[in-house]
Each structure stands twice: as C-alpha cells, then as structure tokens.
C-alpha cells in the first residue's frame, strides 16, 4: 500500500468517525469468512456497515476527532461496525454476539462519548430512532384522539337515549 492509498484510507476512516452516530470496535479473531459475511449482512440489514482497517491508520484518522479516546481499543484484529443511527450498529453487533462468541466487543464511541463494552450493550438496549419518532407521534396524537372521543361521546349518548325512547314508543 503506497502513501496515496494510505491517505485515502485515513480520509475514509476519518469520515466514518465524524459522520457515524455510533462506532463499535470488536475483535474478530477466529471468525470464518462465512461468519464475517453473515456479520456484514446483519449490519447492512440494520442500516450499518463494517470496516476492517489497519489499527495504525485508524488511530491516525481518529486524531482530532471527538472520539479520539477510542484509539486505545485498536489493538489486535479489530473490526469497526458503524451506522448513522446512534443505535443500529450497537444492536446488530449485540445480536450477532449472542449467536457467535468469537466476535468480542471491546467498546466504541457514540459521538464524542467513549463507550466500554457495557456502554455498547446499554446503547443497544435503547430504542431506535424510528421507535422514538413513533412514540413522540403517538404522544402528540393521543390528546387529539382523546378530545375527539370526548366531543363525540355526548352525541353518541344522546343518540343512544333517543333510540331507546323510540323503541319504547314503538313497543
């Protein structure tokens, strides 16, 4: 790999570290090609990506970024799992590690906040962006639905009373 290629890799990694909502660092020693392919596929389906890079180049790319402290995790055979959604990559990695113990989570970063293994697990248990949006919309829509049912309830009650009176007169 010549200098230009290394600079391109450092630039790409720098972009990953600055644009990603979460970056998870894990050891992948012992994973077969099929298992690594499955891992990549699971992350892709979750909206994330996987990147294997030389640790030295990743440390250079981390310099000057908010997640610079994550450089201490980059030792041995490491893989970077990342996503724009602050939760997607962490969820996908945790789901994969439940079935495959060869992938060992070391930690990561969420924006400028460094995460240890427990931090990654905690992030994976958080609701995703879509789930949060759905709950906010439900909270906004609930009062309107309650008002509509409260307004409609007296009319329904009156209609029921009138129907009962009509049935009595008919009988």
pLDDT in tens, 22-78: 899 999 988 999 999 999 999 999 889 999 989 999 999 888 887 788 888 888 899
Q: Which residue has the tokens 């440390």?
A: 59
CA-CA distance, 89 to 163, in Å (whole number)? 59
State both tokens at 99: 């079935």
CA 126-94-36 angle, 5° bins? 140
CA-CA distance, 45 to 72, in Å (whole number)? 29
**pLDDT, position 146:** 67
**pLDDT, position 124:** 84
State both tokens at 19: 């644009």
What are 94-99's contacts with CB under 8 Å, separation 24+? 94/120, 94/121, 94/124, 95/42, 96/38, 96/39, 96/42, 97/26
Cβ count near 9 (within 10 Å): 18
Cβ count near 117 (within 10 Å): 16
Q: What is the mean pLDDT of the chain?
A: 85
**pLDDT, position 160:** 75
153: confidence class by pLDDT, cuts 50, 70, 90: low
CA-CA distance, 46 to 54, in Å (whole number)? 25
């Amino acid at each position: 790999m010549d200098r230009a290629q290394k600079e391109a890799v450092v630039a790409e990694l720098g972009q990953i570290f600055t644009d990603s909502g979460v970056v998870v660092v894990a050891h992948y020693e012992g994973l077969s090609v099929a298992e690594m392919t499955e891992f990549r596929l699971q992350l892709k389906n979750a909206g994330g990506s996987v990147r294997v890079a030389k640790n030295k180049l990743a440390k250079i790319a981390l310099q000057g970024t908010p997640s610079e402290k994550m450089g201490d995790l980059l030792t041995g055979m490491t893989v970077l799992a990342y996503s724009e959604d602050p939760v997607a990559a962490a969820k996908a990695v945790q789901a994969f590690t439940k079935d495959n113990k060869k992938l060992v989570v070391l930690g990561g970063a969420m924006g400028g906040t460094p995460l240890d293994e427990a931090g990654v697990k905690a992030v994976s248990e958080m609701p995703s962006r879509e789930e949060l949006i759905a709950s906010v919309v439900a909270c906004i829509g609930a009062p309107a639905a309650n008002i509509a049912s409260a307004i409609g309830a007296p009319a329904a009650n009156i209609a029921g009373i009138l129907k009962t009176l009509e049935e009595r007169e008919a009988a």
